Amino acid sequence: MKKQQIYLDYSATTPVDPVVLKAMTPFFSKKFANPASLYKKGLEAREALELSRLTIARAINAEAGEIIFTSSATESNNFALKGVAFAHLPALRFGMASKSRGKHIIISAIEHDCVLASAAWLQKQGFELTIINPEKNGVIDSQKIKNALRPDTILVSVMAVNNELGTIQPISEIGKICRSANVYFHTDAAQAFGKIPLDVRAMNIDLLTLSSHKIYGPKGVGCLFIRKGVKMEPTMHGGGQEFHLRSGTVNVAGIVGFAKAAEIAVATMRDEQQRISGLANKLIAGIKSTISNVELNADVQNKVPNILNLQFSFIEGESLLMLLDLNGIQVSTGSACSSEKLKPSHVLMACGLRPEQAHGSVRFSIGRFTTEQDIDRVLEILPKVVNDLRKISPLK
């Protein structure tokens, strides 16, 4: 008998919504033309592309001309940091530090690896970097960003929702601080989109990253919002697509899917988050009543409901993940043993967890297709699995 599979790793990626898939299908073999072509078939693809752009723009209160499509959130984040930095290169060459010619970048310590690595690379090229640590609850204190600003600061990048903890960052406050200091503010909203309302105008955001596959769209598509007037140096050169900022023939089918997914995400956000919140509460209450020595990493008040990062004492995350998988449940972990680098999660460590606490942390992320029965089944299996591993463990 095939075991029932319960997917609780929606923050890693999501299945493509059937409605999204249906919207994409014609653009593979029928409406396949290059949107840059001038004939009718090209215009047909171009129209779909521009409609998609408008849909995405509206979802975050931007204008269509402010959205450029990319291959992923990783590409968008790379471009946000490097594009702004390269636009300031003359400052680096001539050592001048004025508002338009700075060399200092501020990011948070709990950013996704693609932001951390891009910033570290820019530092190697001569830019200066300040990394702000989160408070113990996994939230960045906007005052610390304000204090870190310098006359030569060119960019602040703080994610909207953390991917491991689900903590919501004070991006409105950081946006306000950056705007009044005349410093660009970028936010990676890959985990926030469809979970919390995003308004680039009200939140004073200059650059914002979105990803398709986190919202039931296809993989291989993302976008970057670039507020009109923000100076960016392209990093992908070629045919001049995407307003000369990102060359390369665009992924029309993927983008159409992304837009359809965004449309659904925005329309269903309130109801869906409410439903997921109910499931999450049930899961956490059930876990706390059946398993001892469990802690939620992050405050319930300060996070999106769909992500639950739990710390199980005396056992190690990869073991727990694998034993759950053998029982048909998929989750992820911040343990060192599951990473290629053999280092525990930088997010959990930045929040002040001890390595052994990070090793025992597992993320459950709930999504659109999670049912109440799924949660019941998890509550049936999880205590057993944790108990089995604790029986093997010499730590008590």
Q: Which residues are catalytic?
A: 337
**Residue from 166, 171, 153, 163 nearest 104 by CA:** 153
Contact, 264 vs 19, CB < 8 A?
yes
Assess 319 for contact with other proteins (CB under 8 A): yes
Among 40, 228, 271, 392, binds other proteins (CB under 8 A): 392
What is the smallest separation between the CB atom of 213 and other proteins, expressed in angstroms? 23
Question: The tokens 């310098």 sit on which residue?
Answer: 150
In sequence order, what are the beta bridge partners of 106? 130, 156
User: Which of 11, 108, 191, 338 is in the footprint of other proteins by CB under 8 A?
Assistant: 338
Footprint of other proteins on 295-314 (CB under 8 A): 314
Chosen residue from 3, 40, 228, 391 binding other proteins by CB under 8 A = 391
Minimum distance, C-beta of residue 396 to other proteins, in the bound complex (Å): 10
Residue 344 binds to other proteins (criterion: CB under 8 A): yes
Q: Given candidates 183, 192, 315, 378, which one binds other proteins under the rule CB under 8 A? A: 315
Shortest CB 344 distance to other proteins, Å:
8
Based on CB atoms, which residue is closest to other proteins, 135 or 356?
A: 356
Q: Would you list the DSSP string of 122-141?
A: HHHTT-EEEEEPPPTTS---
Q: Which residue intervals of the chain are DSSP H helices?
A: 18-24, 26-29, 40-59, 73-87, 89-94, 113-124, 142-148, 171-181, 241-244, 252-290, 317-326, 346-350, 355-359, 372-392
Is residue 366 within 8 A of residue 272, CB to CB? The reply is no
- Residue 211 binds other proteins, judged by CB under 8 A: no
**Please, which residue, 63 or 356, has the CB nearer to other proteins?**
356
User: Which CB sits closer to other proteins, 2 or 396?
Assistant: 396
Buried b / exposed e along 260-269 (16+ C-beta atoms within 10 A): bbbbbbbeeb
| Other Cβ atoms within 10 Å of 9 Cβ, number | 17
Task: Report the residue from 80, 145, 336, 348 that binds other proteins according to the rule CB under 8 A.
Answer: 336
The structure tokens 């769209």 sit at 217
Closer residue to other proteins, CB minimum distance, 124 or 391: 391
Choose between 203 and 336: whose C-beta lies nearer to other proteins. 336
Q: How far is CA 263 from CA 20, 37, 60, 65, 184, in A?
A: 10, 27, 11, 18, 28
User: What is the rounded CA–CA span in Å between residue 304 and residue 162?
Assistant: 9
Instruction: Check residue 316 for interaction with other proteins (CB under 8 A).
Output: yes
CB 314 within 8 A of CB 293: yes
Nearer to other proteins, 60 or 336 (CB): 336
- List binders of other proteins among 359-388 (CB under 8 A): 359
CA distance 350 to 144: 15
Contact flag: residue 354 with other proteins (CB under 8 A): yes
CA 378 and chain centroid, separation: 25
In the complex, the smallest distance separating the C-beta of residue 394 from other proteins, rounded to whole angstroms, is: 4
What number of chain residues touch other proteins (CB under 8 A)? 24
Residues near other proteins, by CB under 8 A: 314-316, 318-319, 322-323, 326, 335-338, 340, 342, 344, 354-356, 359, 391-395
